[in-house]
Amino acid sequence: MAEEAKKTFKRDKPLVNIVTIGHVDHGKTTLTAAITKVLADAGGANYETYEDISNAPEEKARGATISVSHVEYSTANRHYAHTDCPGHADIIKSMITGASQMDGCILVVAATDGQMPQTREQLLLARQIGVEHVVVFINKADVVDNEELLDLVEIDIRKLLTEIGYDGKNTPVITGSASLRSGGRGTVVSGTLLRGVIQTGQEAELFGYNCSFSSVITGIEKLHKSFDQAEAGDNLGALVRGLKTEDVRRGMVMCKPGSIKPHQKVQAQVYVLSKEEGGRHTPFYSNYRPVMSSLTWQINATLTLPADKELAMPGDYTSMTLMLIYPMPLEKFQRFSLREGNQTICAGVITDILTD
C-alpha cells in the first residue's frame, strides 16, 4: 500500500494540509471518505471507506495519545494531506500539539442540527492557532425538508465565522450530503421511514417528477452501522440495486410497489398567513402559481379558489384546488405549504384526491 501511494502521489504539485472539524456525528469522517471516493474515480486518490478512516490508529504527539487518520489525494492543481480525527478530544489534541500543521480546515455542520457547542469550540481554536482558510460543508441536507432551514443554518454559520474573525461573507459554503453513493453497488437513498418496516431483499418503487423506478433494497445503514431492517421513525440510508445517482432526485418517495400512487390534482384546506406571520401583504386570486412544498419535494402548482370566492386575503381560511405540473406522491391528510420565493404564504392539508 505504501509503495502504491508513492507511485500515485508524486510531489509535482503544491502540498496543502487540511483537517475536518465539527460537532460529533455531523459527518466529518463520512465526508472524508466521500472525497476519497470521488477523487479515486478520477484517479487522484485511493478510496478510503468510513470504516477505514474511523478505525484510526493511535499516534503519539508531544506526550498526547491521538486517534488520527491521514488520507492523501490529488486534484488538478494540488496534493492534499487530509487529517481526520474521529473524536472531539482527538481533534482538539491534534490541533494543540501540532500533529497536523494545517493550511486550512473543512468545517462540517449538519443541516439537521446547525451550529453546536463543538462547532464553535473547534472553529475558535482553529482561528487561535492560525488556520487562515475555512470551507464550510453543510451536511445531511438530503434529510431536511425545509429550504428555509438550510438558509438559516448558513446564515448562522456565516455569523459565527465573522464573530470569530473569519470572513463570514465570502467564506465558501457548500450544501449537500456526504453519503449518497456507495462504491458501485448501487445508489444510496437517504431519508426518514414514515411508516411500516423495510428489510434487505425487499422490492421497492421510487417515484416522483413523472419518473418511476423499480429496484431491490440490498443494504440498510443507520448511524454508520448495517442492519437487516428498519422501522418507522428511523433515519437511514438504503442501498438500492440498479439505479444511478442521476436517477434519484430529492423529493422522490421510496415505497412498497403499488402502495402509494402519484397524483396531480387535489382539494385542500389552507390557512393564508398574515403579514405579521411572515406571509403576503396582499391577496391572491385563482390561477396564482406558488411553489407547493410537502415531504421533501417542492414543485409549482396552480391554485383555483371556490366559485364564490374571488380572492384570498392574508389571515383567511379557505378551500382550494391545486394542480401540480407533475404527478407527485400525494395522500389525503398530507400536510404542505405554499411558498413564494423564500416566503411561506400558506399552510394546508389535502382533503381529497381529484381525478383529471
| Residues 186, 218 contacting (CB under 8 angstroms) | yes
Q: Among residues 20, 23, 26, 29, which one is catalytic? A: 29
Q: Is 88 a catalytic residue?
A: yes
**Active-site choice (13, 25, 145, 200):** 25
28 noted as active-site residue: yes
Burial string for 271-283 (b: 16+ CB within 10 Å, else e) reads: ebbeeeeebbeee
The single residue listed with the C-alpha cell 411561506 is: 344
CA proximity to 179, closest of 23, 32, 18: 32
Determine which one of 20, 23, 26, 28 is catalytic: 28
Return d(Cα 303, Cα 267) in angstroms, integer: 10
| Residues 6 or more apart in contact with residue 29 via CB below 8 angstroms | 20, 50, 53, 54, 69, 84, 86
Marked catalytic residue, from 13, 70, 88, 263: 88
What stretch of H or E contains 20? strand 15-22
- Angle at which helix 88-97 crosses helix 117-128, to 10 degrees, equals 10
In 102-231, alpha helices (H): 117-128, 147-164
| 305-316 as b/e: b if 16+ CB within 10 A | beeeeeebebeb
Residues marked active site are found at 25, 28-29, 88
